Amino acid sequence: MEVSSTATTTVAFDFYDVDQFAQNFSIGTDGSRVPLECNQEINTNNLSDFIIYGVFVNLIGLFGIIGNTISMIILSRPQMKSSINYLLTGLARCDTALLIISILIYGLPAIYTYTGVLFHYKFIVYPKIIRYLFPLSCIAQVVTVYLTLTVTLERYIAVCHPLQAKSFCTYGRAQVAVLVIVIFAFVYNLPKFWEIEVYTERHWKYNVTVYCIFPTEMRSNQFYITVYIHWMYFFVYYMFPFIALMIFNMAIYRRVRKANRDLQQLSRHQRREIGLATMLLCVVIVFLICNILPLVSNIHETFIEDPPHWMVQLGNLLVTINSSINFIIYVIFGRKFKRIFLKLFCSSRFFGPGRDSPEFQTYDESMITNTTHIELRNSVRHGHLNRANTIGWNNNIHVSNGSTRQSMKSGRPASPGTYPFKSPARSLSQISRISNSRNSWNRRENGDTTL
């Protein structure tokens, strides 16, 4: 909302002393008096703040809060219990907290800046809560950065060092890692609780007492700014985690490329791990892309001068996008995540009886045989397949990429404990091998908690 210099005539001078009146106005370049709100010109960057913060940050933030809430519900279900899903749940919680704080710090005040709406929030509520919201936002940001690094480290061990994964990638260790990261983030950002103080002034237009924020003496100390605000922030938030993320993800990327070339030689479990690593690789890439501009802004502030206002605006918007987009990545790349999402939140009448239907009862996407790829190719070439080595129940067998797939002929799947129809007599050794293969497959399915 544009305010002309003629609007200053509406001020009731009887309620002002000369010093207070002088503090609420500044002299413009044309010699006119420009009104001030909390020692800032009210017409500065109001349109850009409203578009970036008041519109985009609020809308993207609301979408991200809904998406992260759905992610937390799905990842917290019993069948999804695993170390990686616990870390992703913690990441969704921190992203949600960061989005809520971003809306309260940037989104809602920007609405007043251009429209004049939410005056009470801007000058009464906001100054009283910002001293707590700002440190909490910094804590959430640190936790988000290092949880992303922990997820990458977990995938690096699972993909590149699978023998050590059982001992390192456990649910208990994931809980400890989250606790350590939260404690570190809180201790590191503890001084920020004493960086802001509040003072009062009379509003130039409405003649009411408003609250304004001002940096404390500690926050204005040059040594504190140079060491803690600039250098430590640069190393803790950006340099160390970015370098570590790039090193680990390059190793994961090389392993994924090698695995894709040798896909037929991988076990079913290894394929799941590679697929999960690919999905989380996308999460990290989006994280790095969205934090490049904030990194440049921090470097500009540390080594040159205060960055341009547009750079800070876009950097905050990108951080908001990064905290809102993981849900979309999970839906696109996570088969089990998508299946549970459709079952919980989408009506079944929109789906047919296909594989992606929530009511489609299946153990997994394919039955896995105990035959090797060489045996399978040889048996197909000679026109026979050793039935004692398969899990199929006289159904059609399709060969694709060296794996055996079973297509159900009947309208409904058979129960896990019975055969759909009688099969020819088998020897005891054949029945034993079939039973062992099915039991091991069921154990693998019950333990499958990947996305």
Question: Other CB atoms closer than 10 Å to residue 199's CB: what's the count?
Answer: 12
Question: Does 353 map to a domain?
Answer: no
Q: Which domain holds residue 195?
A: 46-344
- Exposure letters 80-89 (e unless 16+ CB within 10 A, then b): bebbbbbbbb
> Using CA atoms, how far apart are residues 442 and 436, in angstroms rounded to an integer?
10
The answer to whether position 374 is within a domain reads no
Tokens of 164: 């050590």
- Supply the pTM of this predicted model: 0.71
Helix residue ranges per DSSP H, 161-267: 162-168, 171-188, 217-220, 222-224, 233, 240-261
Which of the two residues, 358 and 191, has the higher pLDDT score?
A: 191
Burial 106-125 (b: 16+ CB within 10 A, else e): bbbbbbbbbeeebeebbbee
Q: Could you tell me if 198 and 131 are in contact, meaning their C-beta atoms sit under 8 angstroms apart?
A: yes
Domain assignment present for 371: no
418 pLDDT higher than 50: no
Separation of alpha carbons 83 and 171, rounded Å: 4
What's 338's domain CATH number?
1.20.1070.10
pLDDT digits (tens, 9 = 90+) for 159-191: 888 888 888 888 999 999 999 999 999 999 999
How does 272-289 read in b/e, with b if 16+ C-beta sit within 10 Å? bbbbbbbbbbbbbebbbe
In a domain, 27, yes or no: no
Residue 375, domain member (yes or no): no
The whole-number pLDDT of residue 143 equals 96
Residue 53 contacts by C-beta under 8 Å, 6 or more apart in sequence? 106, 107, 109, 110, 313, 316, 317
pLDDT at 113 over 50: yes
Q: What is the distance of C-alpha 116 from the center of its chain?
A: 33
Structural domain includes residue 334 = yes
Segment 322-345 shows an average pLDDT of 90
In this structure, the number of other CB atoms found within 10 A of the CB of residue 135 comes to 19
| pLDDT, tens only, 140-150 | 999 999 999 99
**When comparing pLDDT for 427 and 376, which is higher?**
427
16 residue type, one letter: Y
d(CA 130, CA 256): 44
Handedness of CA 433, 439, 441, 443 (dihedral sign): negative
Count of the separate structural domains present in the chain: 1
CA distance 279 to 398: 28
Half-sphere exposure of 111 (CA within 13 A, CB side): 17
Q: Any idea how long the chain is?
A: 451
Whether 443 has a pLDDT exceeding 50, the answer reads no
- CA distances in angstroms from 198 to 38, 123, 248, 318, 348, listed in the order given: 10, 11, 44, 29, 54
Paired with 197 in beta bridges are: 214
Rg of the Cα atoms in the chain: 30
Q: What is the pLDDT of residue 205?
A: 80
Task: Say if 241 falls within a structural domain.
Answer: yes
Which range in 28-42, 245-259, 322-336 is most confidently predicted, on average pLDDT? 322-336
Which two tokens mark 139? 């804590």
Residue 349, both tokens: 């009448």
Higher pLDDT pick, 262 / 388: 262
In a domain, 22, yes or no: no
pLDDT at residue 204 in the model: 80
User: b/e map of 342-371 (b: 16 or more CB within 10 Å)?
Assistant: beeeeeeeebeeeeebbebeeeeeebbbbb
